[in-house]
Amino acid sequence: MDRLIIIRRPTRLDALVARFNTKQQAQFYIEHLNADFKDYEAEHETYYAVLDRLVKTAQGIGNVQVIDWKFLPNFIFGKNDTVITVGQDGLIANTLKYLEAQKLIGINPDPSRWDGVLSQFSVDEAGTVIRQALNDEATVKQVTKAKVQLSDNQVLYAVNDFFIGVKNHASARYAITVDGAVENQSSSGIIVSTPLGRSGWMKSVLAGASGITGRLSKQSLAIKAKSVIDWGKEQLTFAVREPFPSVNTGTKIIFGSITPGTDFCVESRMGENGIIFSDGIQDDYLDFNYSVVARISIADSKGNIVVK
């Protein structure tokens, strides 16, 4: 029987209790920082009330399994499973990269607290949208994912972006190749963004670059924002952060696009601490040290997000 897989993640209060062992110790810590512990409690209570309602609603529709997000890397999804996240938009990105063609529904547990660009549905709408998804009547938006494959055949996927660099934010040294053009570089790392991720980390990188260039050139160089982003566009964007020019390192290949025909790879020149991680989660990473080659491309499969 096809399953309804509900993905949950800990609240801020859950994380504090795990750290300090008891709620009382967590409260002491928060109040010592002059923060409002009641806000942590309110968020926690709202989240679990929504989760409880969602589980009961889903159980009236099909076979339900609830898993914690930390088990996603090792969880085996069935090809006909319908996946439901309860949390902020980041949980959708963290879940989507482990899916193939399964539909993903995002439930926003607290619309008054969080915007829901991806998590567009309230728990009140859950029953209707789950049934629509099961009956192939829901509106689904495809999302392009990025893939990195190392020379030792390890693979990692990203829904928003990859970071290629050093885990302690020291200078990263590597050789970058784009369609046969090769350049040795030293930088703060490379960001490779999907269309969905262009509104996140990549947007910050471009805003900083345009701001600095604008001040130096005494011109206004504001980044043009697209009102509608095609999440499924077959194009990735890469940007090199703070490239350093020297006798041995260049700054010519610092920004561009990766399309299905692009040959884009990076060879590590780092003796240790080289890393590639995806979607801002440093625990979800690949080691990237000397002579390892990373080839970045558009993933074969697209994500499927249910939207309004």
Condensed to tens digits (0 to 9), the pLDDT of residues 148-204 reads 999 999 999 999 999 999 988 789 999 999 999 999 999 999 999 999 988 777 777
Which strands make up the sheet holding 255-258, listed edge to edge? Answer: 255-258, 236-241, 189-193, 161-166, 274-278, 281-287
263-281 mean pLDDT: 94
pLDDT of residue 226: 56
Residue 28: what pLDDT?
A: 93
State percent of the chain over pLDDT 90: 81
Give Cα 74 distance to the centre of its chain: 18
* Burial environment of residue 42 by CB neighbours within 10 A (0 to 12, 13 to 18, 19 or more): middle
Alpha carbon distances (Å) from 13 to 18, 21, 41, 112: 9, 11, 7, 18
Report yes or no: 105 and 85 within 8 Å, Cβ to Cβ. Answer: yes
Alpha-carbon dihedral sign for residues 150, 165, 282, 90? negative
Q: Is 70 exceeded by the pLDDT of residue 105?
A: yes
> What pLDDT is recorded for position 212?
75
pLDDT at 48 over 80: yes
Q: Are 303 and 118 in contact (CB under 8 A)?
A: no
Answer for the pair 243, 254: CB distance below 8 angstroms, yes or no. yes
CA distance 262 to 184: 19
Q: What is the predicted pLDDT for the residue at 225?
A: 59
Average pLDDT over residues 11-26: 95
Domains of the chain as residue ranges with CATH: 3-137 (3.40.50), 146-300 (2.60.200.30)
Give the mean pLDDT of the chain.
92
Separation of alpha carbons 197 and 200, rounded Å: 5
Strand order in the sheet with 146-150: 155-158, 146-150, 293-298, 264-268, 172-178, 181-187
**CA 290 to CA 170: how far, in whole Å?**
15
pLDDT digits over 116-147, tens only? 889 999 999 999 999 999 999 999 999 999 99
pLDDT value at position 281?
82
CB-based contacts of 215, cutoff 8 Å, min separation 6: none
List pLDDT tens digits, range 193-236: 999 988 777 777 777 777 777 777 777 766 665 556 799 999 99
Chain position carrying tokens 């970045």: 296
